[in-house]
Amino acid sequence: MSQQDNDLIAEIFDALKQKFDVEYTELQDFEPTQFSSFNQYNKVGVVKKIAIKRAGTGYLSFIKTPTTLLQLWGSVKINKDFGHVLIRPEKFADKLQELIKPVEIDFPDDKLFSQMNYVVANDRQKAVAAVTSGFRNIVAELQEDEFVIEIINDQLIINIKREPSPEVAKKLYKFIVAAALLH
């Protein structure tokens, strides 16, 4: 890890510490290679982790792969079994694929969420039951063009696809706390 990465992590930690109850930790809360979001990498390492004490089980993890810059991911254990769910902003290609082979989960009671987000799951019933209106509101509050949320059973990870920064870290912090308190 470079000095620039260390400085960025310290800057993000200091910005969070000014507003929130956080601390560095060595605890392992999730194994990145279990998530399809990391399938394209042959080696993934968590280089530093910040515990979100308010949420009890939430973390911000700085992750590095041989081919990428430093990434910031949030993670939290939630009290519901979602099965395996992927949520991200919907792209034009997703809309085309939906015409050919429908796989996406739509929420008839939340047409705006369904239009803006692509939701797929291995267990449709679990996902529909778990992705409640409250959860969809938390996702909508992100107000980000590029993000990915992946959930395996009760373990949620999230990445805002921008360079790590105090602003991104604060958004992830707020999402993790809201998700932990919701379920």
pLDDT digits (tens, 9 = 90+) for 4-55: 999 999 999 999 999 999 999 987 777 888 888 888 888 888 889 999 987 6
Residue 73's Cβ-side half-sphere holds a number of Cα atoms within 13 Å equal to 29
- 146 CA to centre of own chain: 11
Sign of the CA dihedral 174, 75, 145, 124? negative
Position 112 confidence tier, pLDDT thresholds 50, 70, 90: very high
Which of the 8 DSSP states describes residue 49? Answer: E
- Indicate if the pLDDT at residue 136 is higher than 90: yes
Structure tokens at 35: 């998530």
The pLDDT, as a whole number, for residue 41 is: 83
- Indicate if the pLDDT at residue 160 is higher than 70: yes
| Residue found under tokens 């991104």 | 168
- Indicate if the pLDDT at residue 82 is higher than 80: yes
The 3-class SS string of 54-90 reads CCCCEEEEEEECCCCCCEEEEEEECCCCCCEEEEEEC
Sign of the CA dihedral 74, 75, 78, 81? positive
Rounded Cα distance, 142 and 73, in Å: 14
Q: What are phi and psi of 89, to 5 degrees?
A: -60, 140
Position 102 confidence tier, pLDDT thresholds 50, 70, 90: low
The pLDDT, as a whole number, for residue 97 is: 72
23-50 burial string, b = 16+ CB within 10 Å, else e?
Answer: eeeeeebbebeebebbeebeebebebbb
Sign of the CA dihedral 100, 104, 109, 115? negative
The pLDDT, as a whole number, for residue 155 is: 93
Rounded Cα distance, 125 and 130, in Å: 9
- Indicate if the pLDDT at residue 101 is higher than 80: no
The pLDDT, as a whole number, for residue 163 is: 92
The pLDDT, as a whole number, for residue 42 is: 82
Q: Which of 142, 149, 158, 146 is nearest to 60 (CA)?
A: 158
